[in-house]
Amino acid sequence: MSDWKLPWTASCLCGQVKMRISAPPLFSAACHCDGCQKLSSGAYSLTMMLPPDGFEVLSGDTEIGAMHRAEIQHHYCTHCKSWLFTTGALLGGNVNFRPTMLEDASWVRPYVETWTAAKLPGVSTGATLSFEKFPTQDTFGEIIRGHAREGARP
Ligand SMILES: [Zn+2]
Ligand SMILES: [Zn+2]
């Protein structure tokens, strides 16, 4: 497995929230679902799933936004309202970090894309694997192994 050149630093748009990533992502994804289109104000959201001990907020205040559901929390900068990361029981304790917050996101390319059923016309993500909806639970082992082998890295 090649070097991930960790740790990585990240910040929100205004720079008040600073974050540090110190473990390789389990996988990276683009999601075209209706919810992600609204959350991101874009055609799709970008995610890196990180183990909980591989992610920390170093400075700045965050707040919960979006749907305020018990099982999943979306964290935002209190000042610039950038969507930073997502936590909650639905993620099995992992952190879904938004890789566009990286100081250097120039190498970021999603390994999988989900919900292509809702993909807007003309949109292309460069993902290796595509799923019409969310992949089933028994597919994740294969996704994580494939990403460790050939997922984009800096
Ligand atoms: Zn989505
Ligand atoms: Zn901010």
Give the domain ranges of the chain. Answer: 8-148
Exposed/middle/buried for 98, CB within 10 Å: 0-12, 13-18, 19+? buried
What's the predicted TM-score (pTM) here? 0.95
How confident is the model at residue 2, as a pLDDT?
63
Q: For the chain, what percent of residues have pLDDT higher than 70?
A: 99
Residue 1 has pLDDT above 90, yes or no: no
- Residues that place a CB less than 5 A from ion ligand 2: 12, 14, 16, 77, 79-80
- Tell me, what's the pLDDT at 47? 98
Q: Which fold has domain 8-148?
A: glutathione-dependent formaldehyde- activating enzyme (gfa) (3.90.1590)
Give φ, ψ of 16 to 5 degrees. -70, -35
Percent above pLDDT 90 for the chain: 97
pLDDT at position 87:
97
CA of 130 relative to ligand 2 center, distance in Å = 32
**Proximal ligand: closest to the CA of 10:** 2
Q: Which ligand is nearest to the CA of 31?
A: 1
pLDDT average, residue stretch 48-68 = 97
121 token code pair = 């016309």
Instruction: Provide the 3-class DSSP secondary structure of residue 131.
Output: coil
- 86 alpha carbon – ligand 2 mean position (Å): 16
Given a cut of 60, whether residue 138 has pLDDT beyond it is yes
